[in-house]
């Protein structure tokens, strides 16, 4: 079975030896997306703004692989402080609504670039990229 590497300029480039995403058997596996603006490299301030940017980056990688936020079946959210869960969750819910995917949320000691959130996703392909 062969997988395809997914790469887009609409999300930040990988900062290590990994792909932004991988396509395999009709699925897209989106690597954890930091809240970095792909055009400027800037990180917004606050968990809410960072959650927005991370999800925009996830959406861009998914689109490059022929998927979308509507086809996400599983996410993992890594947060630096679970005390900020409610604010992150409010923004997250605005992207997924009632048909939200399965999700795990994990508090971590530290994330790359000292951001507050990182989000990864698995989705099914809905169109040709």
Phi first, then psi: what are they for 10, rounded to 5°? -85, 5
Architecture of domain 4-124: 2-Layer Sandwich (3.30)
**Structure tokens, 80:** 């630096």
Length of the chain: 129
Strand blocks (E) in 12-101: 21-24, 27-33, 72-79
Residue range 52-104, pLDDT digits in tens = 999 999 999 999 999 999 999 999 999 999 999 999 999 999 999 888 999 99
Question: Which tokens belong to 38?
Answer: 């792909």
pLDDT digits (tens, 9 = 90+) for 29-63: 999 999 999 999 999 999 999 999 999 999 999 99
Contact 102, 58 (CB under 8 A): no
């Amino acid at each position: 079975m062969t997988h395809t590497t997914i790469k887009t300029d609409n999300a930040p480039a990988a900062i290590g030896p990994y792909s932004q995403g991988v396509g395999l058997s009709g699925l897209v596996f989106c690597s954890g997306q930091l809240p970095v603006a792909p055009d400027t490299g800037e990180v917004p301030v606050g968990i809410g703004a960072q959650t927005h940017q991370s999800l925009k980056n996830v959406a861009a990688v998914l689109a490059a692989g022929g998927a979308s936020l509507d086809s996400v079946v599983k996410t993992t959210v890594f947060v630096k402080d679970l005390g900020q869960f409610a604010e992150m969750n409010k923004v997250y819910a605005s992207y997924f609504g009632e048909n939200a995917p399965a999700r795990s949320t994990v508090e971590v000691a530290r994330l790359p670039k000292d951001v507050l959130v990182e989000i990864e996703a698995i989705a099914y392909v809905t169109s040709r990229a």
